[in-house]
A and B are shown apart, each in its own frame.
Chain A
Amino acid sequence: MAKVSFNKDLCKGCGLCVTACPKKIVHLADELNKRGYHPAEVTEQDKCIGCAFCATMCPDCVITVEK
C-alpha cells in the first residue's frame, strides 16, 4: 500500500503539493510547525496511490513516498 510521509518541520506550507495531488488528499494542517508554518499533511493515507506528484512539486524535499 502506498504511504506518503512529510518531514513536518522542514515544510514551509507553500501548498504546491496540495494542488498537485490528483486524489486531493493533501492539505495544510491547522497547527503550526516549529518554523511557524502550517505544514502539509495527509490524513486519509489509504486513498494515496503513491504517484509522488506531491513530492515532485515540493521545493523543500519534505515528502517521502513509499509503495
Chain B
Amino acid sequence: MVVFDKPNALTENPLHYCPGCTHGIIHRLVAEALDELGVTGRTIGVASVGCSVFTYNYFNCDMVQAAHGRAPAVATGVKRSDKNNIVFTYQGDGDLAAIGTAETVHSAARGENITVIFVNNAIYGMTGGQMAPTTLPGQKTQTSPYGRDVEAVGYPVKVCEMLSQVDGATYLERVAVNNVANVKKAKAAIKKAFQNQIEGKGFSLVEVLSTCPTNWGLAPDKAIGWLEENMLPYYPLGVYKDKYAEEK
C-alpha cells in the first residue's frame, strides 16, 4: 500500500526552485489540502511575482498570474465572479509584505472569502537576495551587507500580528516547515484555511516560515538551523486569529 506519493493536484513538471528550498514542501501541502478536500477541479490559484511566479506550472488547477503584489486583488475578482470557485493566492514576503501590503490589508479588511498562502523567507529570493520588509534586524543581505540596521531602515513587518488587528480577517496562523512535526502542523493550518473558504467563513491567511539556502548562503540543512535559531524567536508560531474559535 502506498503511504506517501505525489498529490494529484501537482503537475509532473520538475520544480525550478533551488535545492533544499522549502517552497516545494509548501506547494505539496497546498496540493494535498486541495486533493483531500476534493476541490482541485474548481480551484483557481493566483500566482504572485517572485520565485513563486511559476506556480502556475505546478498546480493542476486553473491559475492566474497577477501583477506584483496584486494577487489578493485579482483573487477578489475571481472569487466574486463565481462564489463556487475556491480561490487561493500563493505569495512570498517580497510580494505580500512589500509592494502588496495595501492589497493584503484591504482584502483582509473587506473579509474576502479567499485563502492566502504567505511564504516568508526573510529575503527577496528571485532578484538575488536583497533586504525585504521581513528581513531580521542584523541579517546580512545583498543590500544590507553589514546587517539590517533598524535605525536606518526600520523594523521587520510582522504580517500575522498586523492583520490580527483587522476586524475582517477570519483566520491567521503562522507555521514553519523546518521539521516533520511542523510540516504536519503547516498542513493542518493550510487545510483549515481552505475549509474556512469552503464554509464561507472569510479571509484566511497562513504564513509559512521558509528557507532560502541560496541567498542566505547556507547549505539546506544549515538553512533549516538558521530558521530555527533566528526566525522562530522573531516570528513566533501559532494562531493569531480564529474568529470562529472565539465564538464557541
Contact = CB atoms under 8 A, between A and B. Distances in A.
B20 A59 contact: yes
B20 A61 contact: no
Contacts of A10: 14
Interface string B1-37: 1111111001000110111111111001000000000
Contact of A56 (B7, B184, B219, B221): B184
A57 B180 contact: yes
Q: How extensive is the interface on chain B, given as a class?
A: 20 to 34
- Residue from A15, A19, A59, A60 whose CB has the most chain B CB atoms within 10 Å: A59
Given A14-B220, A16-B224, A50-B3, A59 B180 contact: no
A3 to B, nearest CB: 10
Given A52-B4, A66-B1, A15 B28 contact: no
B1 A67 contact: yes
Contacts of A15: 20, 219-221
A6 to B, nearest CB: 12
A40 to B, nearest CB: 11
A57 B19 CA distance: 12
A60 B180 contact: no
Contact of A65 (B3, B24, B28, B179): B3
Contact of B4 (A14, A20, A60, A65): A65
B39 interface: no
Contacts of B20: 12, 14-16, 59
A58 interface: yes
Interface string A3-24: 0000000101111101110000
A54 to B, nearest CB: 9
B2 A64 contact: yes
A66 B180 contact: no
Interface residues of A, number: 25
A10 B219 CA distance: 19
Contact of B3 (A13, A58, A61, A66): A66
Contact of A53 (B22, B24, B180): B180
Interface in A38-65: 50, 52-53, 55-61, 63-65
Given A12-B19, A14-B220, A37-B19, A60 B2 contact: no
B53 interface: no
23 contacts: A13-B19, A14-B20, A14-B213, A15-B20, A15-B219, A15-B221, A19-B221, A37-B19, A50-B3, A56-B183, A57-B183, A59-B15, A59-B17, A59-B21, A59-B22, A59-B23, A60-B15, A61-B7, A61-B10, A61-B28, A63-B4, A65-B2, A66-B1
Interface of A: 10, 12-16, 18-20, 37, 50, 52-53, 55-61, 63-67
The 3 closest A-B pairs by CB, nearest first: A59-B24, A14-B20, A12-B19
Given A16-B20, A63-B4, 20 more contacts: A14-B213, A16-B220, A16-B221, A16-B224, A18-B221, A50-B3, A56-B4, A57-B25, A58-B25, A59-B21, A59-B22, A59-B23, A59-B24, A59-B25, A60-B15, A61-B28, A64-B2, A64-B4, A64-B5, A66-B3
